[in-house]
Structure 1
């Protein structure tokens, strides 16, 4: 039985570990926190997972909260005009609902499920020195922890990493009491509010420790009015400041916030990180090679909501590469090939995400405008969040956009 060590207990690491157990691999996961510590800790992310990633969870018996979780029916886009009112506003429907489950809920539950299915869960932080000693005990070591010392094992790929600093200041709060948008009271959806030159506010229906809720998530242009979190305010002050920013910059969303309160004492987060692609093969002091996955090797800004989806798809891709490899050694060539297989998909997510971080080109402005008048355009854009490879055909290609819009 082949022995695999996965360092990191997030979406990618736990999904891969759980699916490998189905094939009787001897899998060990190392997590810095116990399931109960995860549940009682601070929120870790936003997330909105779309059909393809969700179906993988269903196929492997991992969709444990679907019955309780609100279904996200679509995505709405609003753009603020110079007068502060909405210059553009529309709602596009997903072909199949999306979901957002607080990672405190999911990762704690999956960690417990992993042990129930015969996996070994070790609660311990891991340094490079630790991993250097452990690696010889396993046929394959995968690093799935996107933060911390181990990320330094993987060199930045300058040819695929155009940014050297964070492109957004991030801040969020999980809340109860947000009223529905009056235009679509019976169709819960993500709201994508754009304030040109300032940033974006996403409103995401979600499920957390205390039931269904909403996530208020700001992405602020560095140096602008949304970049105001360096003092790391306490949760109540964080929510108050965030609501002040909603009132100032997206007042149509503030109208929904009269009864808003935090879901729990750990329901706020602020920070930022530099989007980066890293080389997938890291080398330990011993000379032993380890494989990076998901955010370790491809970390995109969350503006396109692809983090959990990409992590899930990376786990699916790596699973296929591992199973197909049989009993052969997991050498550097195999590791590079496993990443290249995933990159065939992930490159499209990275290109699309990086494009949204800059001012929109004219053809994108035309697409968003056409979506307000043509349901088919809105629907194609919204469903691209499930399959971002479609965007290369039109959203990222001025000629393709012109050709597509001419057919309307």
Structure 2
């Protein structure tokens, strides 16, 4: 117990302590009621605003009336519905693959896929900034984990030459959640072909945002037929809950039989599956939301840069404003919350030391007036703390 208290005290001294949750009392939207106060939400992955779309609500209600609120068991016992089959077919068509398999979360998809596919004979080459669920999946199976410098293809090739095993996997985020930048999938595919490696992309933050009809980063780079495994989530732009893996039928059959996080979990409830089906249909047929979102995000990013902020280079609605010092990042976030703006402060260990940031994530439903207000308040508090000049 003494050691636990010491560790918690050290976190607080460094400005890294995670305080209590911010509780919402309204639907996930561009404006929410947070702790009893109307707040502009800039910390959500609800990029297209579909969490509160009436069409998803109606789909979920209809499914609940027909199927009930729970699924009753694992997909391999009694928990598999015709809705699950329909969504897996929909995802495969959307992603341009032969088949797909639904998991309960993106985390469970990554852990289940990587830990079941690889063993001690494998070498896994993972981008240094990959999501924690990728890293955890790699560590579970006893394979050799080799982390290459972020989006550095020279370093990746050097490490493949040095560390490759009898079987090899290159795994990367498509869009990096804390940086907003995009992995060079075209270059990764070339290296994979050259050295005989399997490729896997976590496209959680790319779906709905990039690619033809919003199908993701694989489509954005036009390497649909060359990425072996596409993983994604149903909880971000799709606005529901769950994860999935898509690819060739042989991979999907394998994961159905060996991915423990799939086999031993009660399946997602029908309401969530129905909402995801409706969301993908909307994304495929309503490009205007995505086009508007990307244009708005690019304009806001440029405005922040012109004001003197250090902003990561991004073509996505994720806009990281680098503050550097963790305590300053937290203080700005708290000050903004008092002004009715929620932007989370992201600190180590989620990001590297000295790169603490405010992670802004825009929704297609944010208004120009709201973003102007956010900009003015952000500039004011950044100047007050000496983050930018003025």
Give TM-score, length-normalised by structure 1.
0.26
**The structure with more helix, counted as a fraction of residues:** 2
More strand by share: 1
TM-score of the superposition, structure 2-length normalised? 0.27
